Each structure stands twice: as structure tokens, then as C-alpha cells.
Amino acid sequence: MNNENWYQLETSAKIYPAIISPRQPSVFRLSCTFNKEIDPDILQTALNVTINRYPGFAMTLKRGAFWFYFEEMEKAPTLKPEQNYPCQMVDPEMEDGFLFRVTWFKNRVNLEVFHVISDGTGGLEFLKTLVYYYLLLSGEEVKPGENIRTLGRKPTSEERENSFLRYYDPQIPSDRADDTVALHYSGTPYPLGHSRAIHVRTKTAPLLELSRSYDVTITEYLTGQFLRSFFDVLRDTSDSEKPIKISVPINLRKLFPSDTLRNFTYFANIGEPLSNADEPLEATLQYIKTNLRATCTRDALVPRLNPNVSSEKNPFLRAAPLSLKQLVLREAHHILGDNLFTASLSNLGIIRLDETMYRHIRNFDFGLSCSDSIPLNLSMLTWDDTAYMTFSSIVEERDVERAFVRKLSEAGLELQVWSSDAGKGGFDEKLSGM
């Protein structure tokens, strides 16, 4: 690659260099667990191949006079053994300049991505290709099918497109939507660099049937139960009139045709005040369904996508020095970002691979980083008829997670639950199923 090639950050990515810190890593993690232990030498070779297919990941971050920008890397990233807690800050100086890391532990490979280069959809594409080439180079008879981008399927310009710019319409008035400050959850913080993951698994068919019984999707159902878990925990400890709001990422590619592997996500913050804690589950779910579906339309989203692009095009902001932009962006993120939600629930959806790959893979997992303001998040994906949910937390208390598991169990779902620190007061045998 030509090291003189440089690229602008896409619209939503420009916030991340301003806010990144060990206390706000803005990192997500995707993992694949194989049925056999990993050969790290083969995995490194597969990584060397994969990075050549994803030039948008072969980038480092550079500081310019007015904006940060990406510059192409001429080397491959180095595979490392997993040593730290999940979703810690990606420091380019510690990653040979790269903005992501790949680690392994026994039979699990982990991809951890700084949000500045991609969202969960783009990260999953990278991981699927890495997994495919690892199996292929291991001598397994696997096929990529139509769901994996290989070297034979050359990168397109659209994969590196800033799709926010494509769908920006200056003729449509901007709308920031709900700017109500949310109630925030807090607890006893773990030491910096420590986090906990609680994993919850259940079969997809019963979960889908349960959701349909309320005439909602799986995401809507779980969002409702997550919201009500906060109700259970906070109703006797807070008299705040602020609402508890769950931030639900919307993959914009489903509404605005795009093949970009960069960020193309909108976050819908849906919630209710604690005064609604006694309402029936049906009422909560219908509220979430109505509001989330009203948000997930092109007509509703374009006005909400416009403000960020408008700010980016503002001649006064464009001319301001980078140091001033960073201050403005940090304050904007505080007011219009973390302030507006209590926790997030991110559903990456169904992972589909060619049937030749299934017998080699045990499962996938998806996790999110946390911050001082948002110390607990929930993420999930579906693989091979099972829903895999992960709570990420940086506080010792696990009352919300317990309430969530209890609600799903009482609804009739059979669950498997275990914690990354199960020796420190983990779930009981009945709920864990382990």
C-alpha cells in the first residue's frame, strides 16, 4: 500500500478521538470460539491475509491541523495472546499503529475494535473473513459462500464510503429528537482496566415465540425486560424524575442501502420514568415497540442524521483549530451522548456462514466497553439457533443482571448463565444451568 494515501474520518467517527480514554475506550469485541485449540502461527497467517482484504482496517490515526485523519499502514497487525480484560482502550502505540487488536486464548479468537474505524457490522465482516481463512489454512474443507468477503471479492469504494454524506439532505430541517437527560446507574467501580462479563444463553426459538406472544421483536422484548430490570433495582433507591433510557443502535444499512464497512449506525434512546415501574410488561413493550418503530423509518431518521453532517460542513467549525474542535466535541458528546441514556442494548443479529464452517465453530460472542457514565451495557447476537447475550460492566454490583436473568427465567426460558468472575458471588446453580 502507498503510505501517502490518507482518508477523512466518516461523520460519526470524528467524536471518538475527542473522547477516548482508559475510562471511555469506545471499543467493541467480537469473539469466535472454535471446537479445537487455536494454532497461533496459522491464525497470524490468516490475519496477514485478512488485513489485505480490508484496507479500511489497515489504518492508523494521524493528527492534522484541523481534523484527525487516517493514513494507510504498510504492515500487518501482530496477533497477541489474550492477557487483559475485554474491551480495554486500543492504544495505537501499543498496537503497532493499528486501531484494533486480535488476540487468542485456547480455542477463542477475539477482535477488539476502536469505534473510530468501524461499527459492529463492519467488525463482524472482518472476523468472518479471519475465521474462514484460519480454517482454510488449517486444512479444513470450508467454503466462503456468499456471506464472507475473500481476496477473490475485491474491496469496493463503497466499503469505505461515508454513507452519512450520501444520505444527507440539506433541504430537510434537522431534528435532534429527544434530548431529555436520563437517569444514570452507578455502583462500586472496579479498578481501572478491570471489567466483568456475564454471559447469558438461550435457544432462539422459545425466545422468538415469547416475543411474538407480545407482538414484538426479540430486540423490543429484551429492551423492555432490560428497562424493567433497572426499574426493579432503582425504584427504592432513587426518586429522580429522569427517565431510564436504553440506547438501541439501529443499523442504517437496512434502511439506507449501503455496503460501507465504516460506522453507519444511529442510536435510538427509548425509555420511561421510574413512576411507570408498576405498569404491566405489556404496556412497557408496546411503548418501546411504538417508539422504536416510529424512529426506524427513513422519514424519521434523515432529520436526525442531518445535524452531525451540518456541523461537519459548518465553515466556522471547519476553520477552527483541532484543539478547539476537540473541546467542542467533548462537550457535545457529554450533552448529546452519554447524558441521554442509562445503558445500551445492541443486537448484532444473526450470523450466517456457509454450512461447511458450522461444524468447526462452537459459538460467537459480542461485547461492549463501558464508561464512568455508562458502567453497564448489554449486547447480543444469534448463532446456530442460540441467542448469546453479554452484560459488560465496570462496577461490582450485579443487581440489574440478576433482575434481567430472573425475568427471563420466570417467563419460561431455559438459560445458561456464567460470569467471568463467577468465584466472586456468581449466580446460583439453578439459574446458571452450568
* Cα distances (Å, whole numbers) of residue 218 to 29, 126, 139, 271: 22, 26, 38, 17
Q: pTM to 2 decimals? A: 0.94
Pairing of strands 343-350, 80-81: unpaired
Task: For the beta carbon of residue 401, count every other beta carbon within 10 angstroms.
Answer: 22
Pairing of strands 265-273, 80-81: unpaired
pLDDT of residue 361: 98
Q: Which of 103, 90, 94, 78 is nearest to 28 (CA)?
A: 90
Task: For the beta carbon of residue 139, count every other beta carbon within 10 angstroms.
Answer: 8
Do 236 and 140 lie in a common domain? no
Within a 13 Å sphere around the CA of 359, how many CA atoms are in the beta-carbon half? 6
Is 339 among the domain residues? yes
pLDDT of residue 4: 54
Residue 302 has which C-alpha cell?
A: 434523515
Do 274 and 126 lie in a common domain? no
Do 120 and 210 lie in a common domain? no
d(CA 304, CA 176): 6
Do 97 and 234 lie in a common domain? no
Alpha helices in 138-280 (DSSP H): 163-166, 204-213, 218-234
What is the number of domains present in the chain?
A: 2
Q: Which domain holds residue 134?
A: 6-150+160-166
Is 362 among the domain residues? no
pLDDT of residue 423: 40
Is 371 among the domain residues? no
Is 190 among the domain residues? no
- 272 neighbors 244 (Cβ within 8 angstroms): yes
Here the CATH number for the domain that contains residue 333 is 3.30.559.10
Please, what's the b/e burial string for 159-176 (b: 16 or more CB within 10 A of its CB; e: otherwise)?
bbbbbbeebbeeeeeeee
d(CA 363, CA 65): 45
Alpha helices in 95-191 (DSSP H): 120-137, 163-166
Do 203 and 131 lie in a common domain? no
CA-based angle 46:52:56, to the nearest 5? 120
Question: Can you state the angle between helices 218-234 and 281-295, rounded to 10 degrees?
Answer: 130
Q: Mean pLDDT for each 10-residue chunk of the chain (434 residues)?
A: 70 92 96 98 98 96 90 95 96 96 98 98 98 98 97 95 94 80 95 96 98 98 98 87 95 97 96 93 98 95 87 74 84 82 98 98 98 97 98 97 98 95 44 39
Residue 260 has which C-alpha cell?
A: 460501507
- 85 neighbors 193 (Cβ within 8 angstroms): yes
Is 214 among the domain residues? yes
Is 183 among the domain residues? no
- 355 neighbors 169 (Cβ within 8 angstroms): no
Do 102 and 213 lie in a common domain? no
Sign (positive or negative) of CA dihedral 29, 30, 34, 40: negative
Do 320 and 407 lie in a common domain? yes
Do 135 and 252 lie in a common domain? no
Q: Which of 388, 401, 276 is nearest to 343 (CA)?
A: 401
Is 188 among the domain residues? no
Do 80 and 201 lie in a common domain? no
Do 145 and 202 lie in a common domain? no
Q: Which residues pair with 419 in a beta bridge?
A: 198
Is 155 among the domain residues? no
CA-based angle 171:174:175, to the nearest 5? 145
pLDDT of residue 430: 40
Do 202 and 106 lie in a common domain? no
Do 135 and 221 lie in a common domain? no
